[in-house]
Amino acid sequence: MKLHGIHVPHKKNTAQQQPVRMAPPKTVAIPMSMHIGKPAKPVVRRGDTVKVGTLIAQADGYISAPIHASVSGTVQKMDEITMTNGTKVPCIRIESDGAQTPDESVAPPDVYDLNTFIEAVKNSGSVGLGGAGFPTFVKFVTKDLSVFREVIINAAECEPYITSDTRTMLDRADSIYRGITALKRYLGVKTFIIGIENNKPEAIAKMRGLAAKTEGVTVRVLPAMYPQGGEKVLIYNCTGKIVPRGGLPLDVGAVVINVTTLAFIAEYLETGMPLVEKCITVDGSALQAPKNVIAPIGTSIADLLEAAGGCRTEPAKVLYGGPMMGIAAPLPDSPIMKNTNAIIAMDAKEAAPPKTTSCIGCGACASHCPLRLDPRAVATAYRLDRAEELEKLCVDLCMECGCCSYVCPARRPLVQTNKLSKLMLRQYQNQQKEGNR
């Protein structure tokens, strides 16, 4: 079986450029919810002095992640910040002293077995850096090591524009190697597959060099076909295995880890410096000159754009992430978060909403859906308020990749309707559960 998908313009404008490290901004705003799960709980107060790597918020609950100061300076304010979904979450604002002094407590963790490894990954504040934002340590928690049959390293980076993972492969291949070594030692996994699209020849060469000196590592070169980096798509294309509906990669023995997340874990094990900065692709039609910028977490988008050389025109829309799955930033001072891998600033032409017309029943949306869903039928069920039908249509499987909207000749907002349909289905299923109690 061949999984569908689409060809999108690659626009990897920054792949050849070394990332530039920006100077610390005057202030950073660090939201307590930069991960999937419960927001972190602040452990500092207004007026406290912090250094780079100081714990400022602890994980609250099982699916949560601690947060650390990304600049040295003083806690200026504790307030709230508006997230991309419109909710408000607590936020710690730090005024930088410009010195970037590391916290004295930063030291390599003592890791000698699976439990101490998991604890270290948890304390590092690591979340899925490819955009998912899922706390990384949770993937490794098990009572039975035999469940881990293979690790798939997600190096596909299939969204247009984004090259931050490509730069990881080119600039931090040693860290990827050490990350693989750590997973071999603590998880006992022997098989590693690096899944990478064929539009990154230099990164492929680097990864093949790494595989040549590491037993059990293969590089799977995949067609540059969006959404090759979608977790279930990648598992299927690398192993031929299908994750069951409602299941997890571990149900087919796989752990999927983003290549930059893996490099970060290796670096944390060596230095103890938690996740305080990100390499971010800054691109889009409004930009003067696109760049990859290493920025402290909490840097405002406005400061990041400035550090990248500024815009040639006022951006009409700024996206967190790429143009296929990216989400509009609510404000120019919205911050860079742990899972931000790109900021795309669009001019008015690029950002203009498409003119929508009636469905012509061409079926292109269904034939290009990588998960073989039927977005046109989903839209009809949603319009008619038929949650049961949405369940039959498996809308819960939709990964919101946007392929259906992209290929629709009528420019229908199919992915947006899918998101609303998933919400409708969840509410329906919750009501069903309550009714059965």
Binding residues vs ligand SF4 (CB under 6 A)? 359-365, 369-371, 373, 375-376, 398-404, 408-410, 412, 414-415, 418
**Residue 294 or 410: which CB sits closer to ligand SF4?**
410
Nearer Cβ to ligand SF4 (46/372): 372
User: Please, what is the minimum distance in Å from the beta carbon of residue 372 to ligand SF4?
Assistant: 8
Residue 419 CB, shortest distance to ligand SF4, in Å, is 9
What is the SS3 assignment for the chain? CCCCCECCCCCCCCCCCCCEECCCCCEEEEECCCCCCCCCEECCCCCCEECECCEEEECCCCCCCCEECCCCEEEEEEEEEECCCCCEEEEEEEEECCCCCECCCCCCCCCCCHHHHHHHHHHCCCECCCCCCCEHHHHHCCCCHHHCCEEEEECCCCCCCCCHHHHHHHHCHHHHHHHHHHHHHHHCCCEEEEEEECCCHHHHHHHHHHHHCCCCEEEEEECCCECCCCHHHHHHHHHCCCCCCCCCHHHHCEEEEEHHHHHHHHHHHHHCCCCCEEEEEEECCCECCCEEEEEECCCEHHHHHHHCCCECCCCCEEEECCCCCCEECCCCCCECCCCCCEEEEECHHHHCCCCCCCCCCCCHHHHHCCCCCCHHHHHHHHHCCCHHHHHHCCHHHCCCCCHHHHHCCCCCCHHHHHHHHHHHHHHHHHHHHHHHC
Query: Least distance to ligand SF4 from the beta carbon of 41, Å?
Result: 34
Cβ proximity to ligand SF4: between 273 and 414 the closer is 414
Residue closer to ligand SF4 by CB (options 179, 402) is 402
CB of 37 to ligand SF4, least distance (A): 23
CB of 9 to ligand SF4, least distance (A): 18
Q: Which is nearer to ligand SF4, 102 or 413 (CB)?
A: 413
Only one residue has tokens 């073989």, namely: 372
Q: How far is the CB of 416 from ligand SF4 (least distance, A)?
A: 10
Cβ 123 to ligand SF4 shortest distance, Å: 35
CB 4 → ligand SF4: shortest distance, Å? 8
Closer to ligand SF4 by CB, 331 or 362: give it.
362
Q: Which is nearer to ligand SF4, 126 or 405 (CB)?
A: 405
